[in-house]
Structure 1
Amino acid sequence: MRFETGVDIDAAAERVWRVMTDVTRWPEFTPTMTAIEPLGDGPLGIGGRFRIKQPGLPPMVWQVTEFTDGASFTWQATGGGVTTVGTHVLTPRENGVSVRLGIDQSGPLSPLVSLLAGGRTRRFVRTEAESLKRRCESGAGV
């Protein structure tokens, strides 16, 4: 299963990047995250690991697999026969940025997971994009 959504944000790219990569604060502004706990020291970057708790889902450990400062990061989690990859891409535009968020699930049980939880996954990704937009445009947070 692959799902991607995008949102245009009327805020400086530096601000959007700061909010998007300050992952431990996501539960402050998006209802799809209950808690995000770093499993190491330092800022978000390659190899960084985070335990994420989301409503109605078991906690999962996500590890950053790709990181381009100021532009994008990708992380993945594996569990229950499914590997989930989350992408976060920031593209500057004339009056702000465009952000694309994506989820890709693969593995032997991914068709079943998609059937059972695909709707919730799509809602969560859309909600996260809309929450990021509101947070960045409001001036709250970092």
Structure 2
Amino acid sequence: MRFEHSITVQASPERVWQVYSDVERWPEWTPTIESVERLDEGRIHVGAKTRIRQPKLPVAVWEVTEVKEGEYFEWVSKAPGIKTTGGHRVASTPEGTVATATIVQEGPLGWIFGRLYAGLTRRYIATEAERLKAISERA
């Protein structure tokens, strides 16, 4: 299962990246995240781990697997039978900065979990995009 949502933000790519990549502060600007606990310190980097609590979802530990500073980071959360990959991309366009979130669920239970939580997943990534836009444009 794959979910994706993009939004155009009227703020610099640097500003959008600053907000998007500061995962510890996500609970301050989006209601889809109850709490974030970094399990290491510093900017996000390959190997960094973060524990996230979200309404209506199990607590998950996410490990960063790829970072291109200022443009993209990807992280993975694993549970028995399912691997979830989250991507966060920032791209400059003539219309503004486009922020894109992706969620990919794989594994024997990935399809089932994806189907059961499809509506919630779509709502969460759309809400996160709208809130990212609002907080990025405010500064």
| 1:41-85 CA distance string (max 9 Å, x none) | 221111110000000112100000000001100001001311000
Q: TM-score, normalised by structure 2?
A: 0.96
Overall identity of the aligned pairs, in %: 42
Q: Displacement, 1:95? A: 5.1
Once residues 98 and 23 of structure 2 are traced to their aligned partners in structure 1, the CA distance between those partners, rounded to angstroms, is 18
Q: How does 1:3-14 map to 2 (within 5 A)?
A: 3-14=3-14
1:49 corresponds in structure 2 to: 49
Q: Displacement, 1:134? A: 0.6
Q: Which residue identity lines up with residue 53 of structure 2 in the other structure?
A: K
Q: Displacement, 1:96? A: 3.0
2:18 corresponds in structure 1 to: 18
Q: How many residues align?
A: 139
Once residues 17 and 114 of structure 1 are traced to their aligned partners in structure 2, the CA distance between those partners, rounded to angstroms, is 27
Once residues 137 and 92 of structure 2 are traced to their aligned partners in structure 1, the CA distance between those partners, rounded to angstroms, is 15
Q: How does 1:75-90 map to 2 (within 5 A)?
A: 75-90=75-90
Q: Displacement, 1:133? A: 0.3
Q: Displacement, 1:138? A: 1.3
Q: TM-score, normalised by structure 1?
A: 0.94
Range moving further from structure 2, 91-100 or 41-50:
91-100
1:74 corresponds in structure 2 to: 74
Q: Which residue identity lines up with residue 108 of structure 2 in the other structure?
A: P
Q: Moved runs in structure 1, 4+ residues, more than 2 A?
A: none
Range moving further from structure 2, 60-69 or 38-47:
38-47
Q: Displacement, 1:22? A: 0.5
2:94 paired with 1:94: yes
Q: Is the 8 A contact 1:11 1:95 kept in 2?
A: no
Q: CA RMSD in A?
A: 1.0
- Point out where structure 1 has 5 or more consecutive residues left out of the alignment: none
